[in-house]
Chains A and B, each alone.
Chain A
Amino acid sequence: MAFTTMVGARIRRREDPRLITGRATYVDDVRQVGTVYAAFVRSPYGHAKITSIDTAQAKSDPHVLAVYTGEDLHHAHNLKASLPVAHKMPDLKTPPHYVLALDEARVVGEAVAIVVADSPYTARDAAEKVVVEYEQLPAVVDIEKAAAGPPYVHESLGTNVAFTMPFSAGDPDKAFAEADVTIKQRIVNQRVAPVPIEPRSMVASYDAGMQQLTLYSATQIPHLLRTQLAIALGLPENKIRVIAPEVGGGFGAKLNVYAEEVVVSWVAMQLERPVKYIETRSECFQAMIHGRDQIDDLEVAAKNDGTITALRLKITANMGAYHQLLTPVIPTLTMLMAHGCYKFENIAAEVVGVFTNTMSTDAYRGAGRPEATFFIERAIDMVAQRLKLDPVDVRRKNFIASSAFPHTTATGLTYDSGDYETTMDKALAIIDYAGLRKQQEELRKQGRYLGIGISTYVEVCGMGPSAAMPAAGWDSATIRVEPTGSITVLTGVSPHGQGQETTFAQIVADELGVPIDHVSVIHGDTDKVQYGVGTFGSRGTAVGGAALKLAIDTIQAKAVKIAAHQWEANPDDVEYRDGKMQVKGDPSKSMTTAEAGFLAFMGDKLPPGLEPGLDATRRFEPPNFVFPFGTHICVVEVDAQSGEVKFVKYLAVDDCGRLINPMIAEGQIHGGIAQGLSQALFEEVVYDGNGQLLTGTLMDYAIPHAEQVPHYELDHTVTPTTVNPLGIKGIGEAGTIGSTPAVANAVIDALAPFGVVHIDMPLKPEKLWAAMQAVPSNGSVR
């Protein structure tokens, strides 16, 4: 692969012109004749028995076409009204999760009925006319109280514990007995809301003549959604088409099968009218999955030189009221990644999943790995603080050496490749770490509190081998060389901001020697694209791109045969060079892929036995996950009078292997850091004791505005992987994973003179101010 003018170049995203000029089609832009509009009646209580639902008044509204309740759907022919959960735990409790509540609502915002009317306005008005009588039941919101129960979220289970998963490796008890120091800390990884700019959006229509259901949905997984719809609705899967048009942010929250998607599809079939439902921001806060929400009880054993020898860990994870698609899987990823980039052998862990009267947790950018990175990076800093060592030195001491890859951790993952120290050293040099520490010391004497936070993260992504994630491991790509030379790529992943219309075209342009403008990348339509798994877990390019590379190989092999035949040469003597075919060592004759495609279309000059046409569909099954890594360094100043945090610097040096388009990678990192620092400083979903959501609007729930994020300084190192033929790792979640602990470590470092060891996120000014009421050590004045 010598011809690389596109791969590695900072090509502007081809998707942007339509997005920034308002010409893109999101679900709400889909206009179909005869469309009617849905509104959901939702539970105002965290836990309540539904004693009666009176739909008469709503049904008599002349604007209303239909009203359905849980009872109606439950009795509906063919409808399997419980939502799917993917899991592998043997003892997992999976209480029924009806698409509309039946008898009981277990979380605020749970859908109780659907109203369909002739406009979004009349639908909302009519929803208010559905009279639901509730009998409030005791709610449980606190995870630890719930684990101890009662009250129970699902009375019939007789417990709120959804599963427990113990794990142990090495001899942690011995390591703890022999430790010089041990550190015990309870770390709360708070609940956050994904808040995509586009909330959940869908429009379903049913062609009764063709018996064909079409669902446009803002989803990250059109094919998986189609499969689940087929199961839920009892329809043949080949009679369902799912289209993910432009999707305005997913972050994992649209990697799901939502009740509303099933109900709206079913209603469209009943009414034989297109039914549109665009949720409101308030509904999005209530009924879209949330992320994180774990209590991580941590115990670390270390030697006086900073060597970490063992970890004891209890992860108590909030499932919410029901399982969504991946709810119980997320905290198990936390457990698997508990090592971070450090090499200790001894670990004792337990994961406990607990039901509460809150919205389900599920995959949110990072999905289980940010929690692990957060506690292990905090733990490193706590060890350093206790032993009066520099946190950099403690990291260096414990890093898995670059010579030790592939490295199998005690939790059983095999890290593909890594060079943690080089990346950290590069970051330290860029930011002048020694100089910063000196500056910090001087400012402290003046009563100013600078904090320097480091996070050296590693994460697991490129989800993933099918053995680890059945039905979500592989992905697919089709390449068609069209008769007139343009190239169509059909990818099984479903990009929604990750830029694969650009990066995949860059790869094809280089490898098949066509101008990038001749490559069109199609995705997100199950009737156009062969089955694919979708976009999540930073897998789009690491898995979908790898499938594309396999398809390129197949195209090239066939094109070579075609070219060789024209030249009466041996195909073994023909090769691709600079995007064109030629006889090895003889540049006098050459043929482009487009020319070969034309010959394949004409069909009359093909070698005997070779099928006409030049296209290929390939699937890539990754042999392993990939493990990107990096060092983030954050510098903040905390105002001792108010506890306000000001960013001074932010540097990220990431390593995701080979870069196809550095600008797109940087964009992913920017967005990732914004979301990660936001968890550290701003975000927190708060329910009160009755399960009322107190942070249900953007006036209460903070996602950062432009002025609340720092300037990002970015750099990278390149450590390729052999897991896929492109040598690349995912970068979609790394920024989020790396940034949260960097920011928290910085803020807590700033407060070190006040004896602060740990403060739970979000690191709100009030908490910091309260901590700074202590008299500072080392003689600084306030």
Chain B
Amino acid sequence: MIPAAFDYVRASSVDDALRLLAEHGDDAKLLAGGHSLIPMMKLRLAAPAVLIDIAGIPQLDGIAASGGRVTIGALTKHAALAASDDLRKHAPALWDAANDLGDPQVRNRGTIGGASAHGDPSADYPAVLQALDATFTLAGKGGTREIRAAEFFLGMFETALGANELLTRIAFDAAPNSAYVKFHHPASHYAVVGAAVVLTLSGGTIAAARVAITGIGDAAFRAGGVESALQGVNPNDAVAVKAATAGAARGVQARADTFASASYRAAMADVFAARAVAKAASAR
């Protein structure tokens, strides 16, 4: 648990961070909450020569909800998300995930930007942000670009972030009928399976659904088959929901570890997707 030597610099602004990134190149890593990066450094799985601390950049922290759109700064901490009434109202799926993530220490330091940029295949937000169809704003040398969640999470610890880019904010349309449920790994408490569901309800039935699953494959994914099967289903009809969520992980190469086999993980994707549908439809 003893990292290799590194230098440490503090960025004062987004531009400053980009300048430092350009200056130090591949040797550098951005440091936000440090709750994914530092554990890897302590195990010497990562050994960056320079850490560029972005945690103090003021403009990147905060949650804004207006006009049916929610915008979250990349440095917003899990604890802030977990305590946000706006989020509970407008995006309960993300609120669920923030409340169910890590422990108080992790939530008080880790950030939504870091959790997204890290691309951990068992992290919670990648599923939620895909179900919310969120847009990521990335700042780079030539300005900013925007990218949809579905194109952001590419693989295991792999995202669309360029080497010299900074994730600055995440935005999505309000999704009051949404939920996230999670099967905790007993040791890490990361998702063995996590299911995020956003529903558009019309009368008593589901008009449209977005469903995303984390913990199973190399990256979180949208369960397209389940999304279409859910159309027209009464979310309170357990039998119909169970039928619609069957095969949620179809076509995905499921991972296995000492806790759960690939086939069990895949089976749990169905179970947790169904639970998330019921929760998303329930009054909270």
**Interface of A with B (CB < 8 Å)?**
39, 120-121, 124-125, 280-282, 641-642, 644, 681-682, 684, 686, 694-695, 697-705, 708, 764-766, 769-770
Whether A121 and B257, one on each chain, are in contact in the complex, defined by CB atoms closer than 8 angstroms, is no
With beta carbons under 8 angstroms apart, the residue of B3, B258, B272 that contacts A684 is: B258
| Given A699-B185, A701-B187, A766-B264, 8 other A-B residues pairs in contact with their CB atoms under 8 A | A125-B4, A642-B268, A642-B271, A642-B272, A686-B258, A699-B187, A700-B257, A769-B267
Chain A residues with Cβ below 8 Å from B271 are 641-642
Chain B: minimal CB distance from A295 (Å):
19
Chain A residues with Cβ below 8 Å from B258 are 684, 686, 694-695, 700
Docked Cα-Cα span, A700 to B271, in Å, equals 23
Docked Cα-Cα span, A706 to B71, in Å, equals 34
Chain A residues with Cβ below 8 Å from B283 are none
Chain B residues with Cβ below 8 Å from A644 are 183
Chain A residues with Cβ below 8 Å from B259 are 700, 702, 764, 766
CB proximity to A under 8 Å, residues B52-109: 103
Chain B: minimal CB distance from A284 (Å):
10
Chain B residues with Cβ below 8 Å from A699 are 185, 187-188, 190
Whether B1 and A282, one on each chain, are in contact in the complex, defined by CB atoms closer than 8 angstroms, is yes
Chain B: minimal CB distance from A127 (Å):
10
Whether A124 and B264, one on each chain, are in contact in the complex, defined by CB atoms closer than 8 angstroms, is no
When A642-B271, A764-B259, A766-B261 are in contact, do A702 and B186 touch as well, CB less than 8 Å?
A: yes
Docked Cα-Cα span, A681 to B186, in Å, equals 9
Docked Cα-Cα span, A641 to B245, in Å, equals 13
- 12 A-B pairs within 8 Å (CB atoms) are namely A281-B1, A641-B271, A642-B271, A694-B258, A699-B185, A699-B187, A700-B257, A764-B260, A765-B183, A766-B259, A769-B267, A770-B264
With beta carbons under 8 angstroms apart, the residue of A39, A121, A695, A703 that contacts B5 is: A121
Size bracket of the B interface: 20 to 34
Whether A700 and B187, one on each chain, are in contact in the complex, defined by CB atoms closer than 8 angstroms, is yes
Docked Cα-Cα span, A125 to B183, in Å, equals 38
Whether B2 and A120, one on each chain, are in contact in the complex, defined by CB atoms closer than 8 angstroms, is yes
Whether A705 and B103, one on each chain, are in contact in the complex, defined by CB atoms closer than 8 angstroms, is yes
Docked Cα-Cα span, A110 to B95, in Å, equals 46
Docked Cα-Cα span, A281 to B268, in Å, equals 31
Chain A: minimal CB distance from B206 (Å):
21
Closest to A770 in B: B264
Chain A residues with Cβ below 8 Å from B255 are none
Chain B residues with Cβ below 8 Å from A124 are 2
User: Does B43 make an interface contact (CB < 8 A)?
Assistant: yes
Chain A residues with Cβ below 8 Å from B186 are 681-682, 702, 704, 708
Closest to B271 in A: A641
Whether A698 and B187, one on each chain, are in contact in the complex, defined by CB atoms closer than 8 angstroms, is yes
Closest to B122 in A: A699
Docked Cα-Cα span, A525 to B267, in Å, equals 56
How would you classify the secondary structure of chain B's contact residues: helix, strand, loop or mixed?
loop
How would you classify the secondary structure of chain A's contact residues: helix, strand, loop or mixed?
loop
Chain B residues with Cβ below 8 Å from A281 are 1
User: Does B10 make an interface contact (CB < 8 A)?
Assistant: no
Chain A residues with Cβ below 8 Å from B190 are 699
Whether A705 and B189, one on each chain, are in contact in the complex, defined by CB atoms closer than 8 angstroms, is yes
Docked Cα-Cα span, A644 to B261, in Å, equals 15
Closest to A639 in B: B271
CB proximity to A under 8 Å, residues B228-284: 257-261, 264, 267-268, 271-272
When A121-B5, A282-B1, A694-B258 are in contact, do A700 and B188 touch as well, CB less than 8 Å?
A: yes
With beta carbons under 8 angstroms apart, the residue of B2, B103, B188 that contacts A121 is: B2
Chain B: minimal CB distance from A642 (Å):
5
Whether A769 and B187, one on each chain, are in contact in the complex, defined by CB atoms closer than 8 angstroms, is no
Chain A residues with Cβ below 8 Å from B188 are 698-700
Chain A: minimal CB distance from B242 (Å):
9
Docked Cα-Cα span, A120 to B264, in Å, equals 43
With beta carbons under 8 angstroms apart, the residue of B1, B261, B264 that contacts A280 is: B1
Closest to A764 in B: B259
Closest to A695 in B: B258
Interface string of B179-203 (1 = CB under 8 A from A): 0000101111110000000000000
Docked Cα-Cα span, A703 to B188, in Å, equals 10
Interface centre among A120, A281, A766 (most CB of B within 10 A): A766
Docked Cα-Cα span, A642 to B181, in Å, equals 13
Closest to A281 in B: B1
Chain A residues with Cβ below 8 Å from B1 are 280-282
Chain A: minimal CB distance from B195 (Å):
12
Chain B residues with Cβ below 8 Å from A764 are 259-260
Interface centre among B3, B4, B261, B267 (most CB of A within 10 A): B267
Docked Cα-Cα span, A642 to B267, in Å, equals 9
Chain B: minimal CB distance from A286 (Å):
13
Docked Cα-Cα span, A287 to B267, in Å, equals 37
Docked Cα-Cα span, A765 to B192, in Å, equals 11
Chain B: minimal CB distance from A701 (Å):
6
Docked Cα-Cα span, A203 to B183, in Å, equals 43
With beta carbons under 8 angstroms apart, the residue of A700, A703, A769 that contacts B264 is: A769
Chain A: minimal CB distance from B279 (Å):
14
Chain A residues with Cβ below 8 Å from B43 are 282, 697
Chain A: minimal CB distance from B35 (Å):
12
Chain A residues with Cβ below 8 Å from B264 are 765-766, 769-770
Chain B residues with Cβ below 8 Å from A697 are 43
Docked Cα-Cα span, A681 to B183, in Å, equals 15
Chain B residues with Cβ below 8 Å from A681 are 186
Chain A: minimal CB distance from B140 (Å):
32
Docked Cα-Cα span, A642 to B268, in Å, equals 7
Closest to A642 in B: B271
Closest to B267 in A: A769
Chain A: minimal CB distance from B239 (Å):
12
Docked Cα-Cα span, A280 to B260, in Å, equals 27
Whether A125 and B5, one on each chain, are in contact in the complex, defined by CB atoms closer than 8 angstroms, is yes
Whether B4 and A702, one on each chain, are in contact in the complex, defined by CB atoms closer than 8 angstroms, is no
Chain B residues with Cβ below 8 Å from A120 are 2
Docked Cα-Cα span, A743 to B54, in Å, equals 47
Chain A: minimal CB distance from B273 (Å):
12
Chain B: minimal CB distance from A424 (Å):
31
Closest to B192 in A: A765
Chain A: minimal CB distance from B41 (Å):
12
Interface string of B205-238 (1 = CB under 8 A from A): 0000000000000000000000000000000000
Closest to A706 in B: B103
Whether A702 and B187, one on each chain, are in contact in the complex, defined by CB atoms closer than 8 angstroms, is yes
Docked Cα-Cα span, A121 to B42, in Å, equals 11
